[in-house]
Structure 1
Amino acid sequence: MRGTSPTAEKHDGGRRSELLTFLFTVFLLIPGLAVGFVGAFGLAIWLIQIIYGPPGPPAA
């Protein structure tokens, strides 16, 4: 391996690992968490409405 040093090889492997981590975070983790949070919020609203009834004017 002419012209490469152990630190250069480590740097290339670290760069690839960092890129894969970034892509995983941007395309899988963040959208997955967003869908999970919105779904959990919707479920909480739905359960509250089952218990207390839908929003609207007070019953006469």
Structure 2
Amino acid sequence: MEPLITSSTKKGERSAFLLLTVALFPILAIALVVIFGFVVWFWQMFVSGPPGPPRG
């Protein structure tokens, strides 16, 4: 026997879907880009130096 799907269940699923697609995923995408940028910036400051022609 299948469980009943009520209108409150559908409403909760819809609000969860909207929360994920409108708020959470864009925020996570921006956060990942920012974190990657900081990792590259710190790597260049402390390890490899700025990009450019090789010293020689």
TM-score band, normalised by the shorter chain? Answer: 0.7 to 0.9
TM-score by length of 1: 0.79
Same amino acid, percent of matched pairs: 35
Q: 1:20 aligns with which of 10, 15, 24?
A: 15
Gaps of 5+ in 1: 1-6
Structure-to-structure mapping, 1:1-60, within 5 angstroms: 7=4, 11-51=6-46, 52-60=48-56
Larger radius of gyration: 1
1:17: how far off? 0.1
TM-score by length of 2: 0.85
**Runs of 4+ that moved beyond 3 A:** none
CA deviation vs aligned residue, 1:1-54 (integer Å, no higher than 9, x gap): xxxxxx4xx610100000000000001010010011000000001001101211
The alignment yields a C-alpha RMSD, in angstroms, of 1.1
1:56: how far off? 1.3
Q: How many residues align?
A: 52
In structure 2, how many angstroms separate the alpha carbons of the residues matched to 1:32 and 1:42?
15
